[in-house]
Amino acid sequence: LGGSISRALQQMSNATIIDEKVLSECLNEISRALLQADVQFKMVRDMQSNIKRIVNLDDLAAGHNKRRIIQQAIFNELCKMLDPGKPSFTPKKGKTSVIMFVGLQGSGKTTTCTKYAYYHQKKGWKPALVCADTFRAGAFDQLKQNATKAKIPFYGSYTESDPVKIAVEGVDRFKQENCDLIIVDTSGRHKQEAALFEEMRQVSEATKPDLVIFVMDSSIGQAAFDQAQAFKQSVAVGAVIVTKMDGHAKGGGALSAVAATKSPVIFIGTGEHMDEFEVFDVKPFVSRLLGMGDWSGFMDKIHEVVPTDQQPELLQKLSEGSFTLRLMYEQFQNILKMGPIGQVFSMLPGFSAELMPKGHEKESQAKIKRYIHMMDSMTNAELDSTNPKLMNESRIMRIARGSGRPVRDVMDMFEEYKRLAKIWSKMKGLKIPKKGEMSAL
């Protein structure tokens, strides 16, 4: 995909005269690539006409950065398409919220329910899981296994066949137990059928969820729009989670799901495991969709803001792909100073969305300072180690004592470290283009 887009842009920038026809041909080529990435036909067509409206041919003819202008226009259009204009309902810690998950069978609901619960539990919430899938044999066992592994309370039944009854019982029980995030997993069917939607409508009416999350498999292709719309028509879908983004799918269906449900994507699933779950971040997602790779913007930023003499060292560390606590320590200090390297790091997907969410800069800063303070109580060997097993219980206790923080905070910091190390490891072996060699796409 990326190949055909850059080829299209390349051909265009080689053309001596940029006229309507050349631009059209280029856009057609890009459209074909987006269709292959499962972006809906109608949306591709809309994007095409928007670009034609936005991009000024005179600018293109005059400037040298033809590819860049068009690339930027396409990028912005796709970002806009992923923004429904209003945020989804956000549950508040300590206040009861009921979250209902819907989606076809196999889309990843049960797995995603647990990931969502686990994600919040790590942040100090009290989640609980209710299995209202009485359709598929083994559904309760699956949820029970997941919940047990994550030490999350659960509710369900092997004998009761009425999903509404179980849902209501489960939600009531966990309300009494003061859980703040009550998650209702529902059934799916292989096909979209009336019985499923009627069941969803009834469960929703009985449990009055604060948020209904539509779970969608990223590999369903062009079916995404109709599927999302069908669910939206029976229940008040308010957010989308796209699963299996670790596979081959580029995830163009996410644009359809946003359009059909008028709701934002909030998380993506990137594997079968409980922690393979990421806060959705529009820009890296669109980069991936366009085949630009998650790191191209990041690389641009390095060349733009890091002093030339500091670039080689930083790039060397990046391409080694091993992330020590010392490196985390240094980068946190950079971020606090918000010097050039700090700016670069704040652009990394995992750093920006997760560690420093917009509007929470103060809290983020305080958290980073806390981490730095705890790392001050670590030994050199600990800071330089790449072996996660080194951090045993007695070391964690010592760091907690040394920094005067609760053990939970130290554990938290290690979780953060593991998360960032995973992001970092994706950069291993990264070919680093020299300034001026950056291709447009």
H or E element at residue 159:
none
From CA 148, how far away is CA 150, in angstroms rounded? Answer: 5
111 binds, among ligand GDP, Mg ion, none (CB under 5 to 8 A by kind): ligand GDP
Q: Least distance from C-beta 107 to ligand GDP, angstroms?
A: 4
Instruction: Please check whether residue 403 is in contact with residue 376, taking contact to mean a CB–CB distance below 8 angstroms.
Output: yes
Q: What binding mask, one character per residue, do residues 261-300 give for ligand GDP by CB under 6 A, x or -? A: --------xxxx----------------------------
Q: Which 224-253 residues touch ligand GDP, going by CB under 6 A?
A: 243-244, 246-247
352 binds, among Mg ion, ligand GDP, none (CB under 5 to 8 A by kind): none
As given in the structure block, the two tokens for residue 73 are: 């226009």
109/301 with CB nearer ligand GDP: 109
Check residue 307 for interaction with ligand GDP (CB under 6 A): no
Catalog residues that contact Mg ion under the rule CB under 5 A: 109-110
User: Angle, nearest 10°, between helix axes 393-403 and 361-375?
Assistant: 110
272 binds, among ligand GDP, Mg ion, none (CB under 5 to 8 A by kind): ligand GDP
241/259 with CB nearer Mg ion: 241
As given in the structure block, the two tokens for residue 97 are: 């919220």
138/436 with CB nearer Mg ion: 138
160/437 with CB nearer Mg ion: 160
150/368 with CB nearer Mg ion: 150
**Amino acid at position 200, single letter:** M
Q: Least distance from C-beta 288 to ligand GDP, angstroms?
A: 15
Cβ-closest position to Mg ion: 110
Nearest alpha-carbon partner for 77 in 297, 250, 289, 260? 289
Instruction: Please check whether residue 277 is in contact with residue 244, taking contact to mean a CB–CB distance below 8 angstroms.
Output: no
Q: Least distance from C-beta 226 to Mg ion, angstroms?
A: 21
Enter the DSSP assignment of 285. H
Q: Least distance from C-beta 109 to Mg ion, angstroms?
A: 5
Q: Least distance from C-beta 97 to ligand GDP, angstroms?
A: 21
- All residues at 6 or more sequence positions from 265 whose CB lies less than 8 Å from its CB, including other chains: 82, 239, 240, 241, 242, 254, 257, 258, 280, 285
Q: Which 64-123 residues touch ligand GDP, going by CB under 6 A?
A: 103, 105-111
Q: Least distance from C-beta 191 to Mg ion, angstroms?
A: 16
From CA 64, how far away is CA 246, in angstroms rounded? Answer: 37
124/247 with CB nearer ligand GDP: 247
437 binds, among Mg ion, ligand GDP, none (CB under 5 to 8 A by kind): none
Using CA atoms, how far residue 28 sits from 5, 51, 155, in Å, is 10, 12, 52
Sheet harboring 97-102: ordered strands across?
154-155, 127-132, 181-186, 97-102, 211-217, 237-243, 265-269, 277-279
271/339 with CB nearer ligand GDP: 271
From CA 301, how far away is CA 336, in angstroms rounded? Answer: 18
From CA 213, how far away is CA 198, in angstroms rounded? Answer: 17
Look up tokens 């469960």; give the residue: 203
Q: What are the residues binding ligand GDP (CB under 6 A)?
A: 103, 105-111, 188, 243-244, 246-247, 269-272
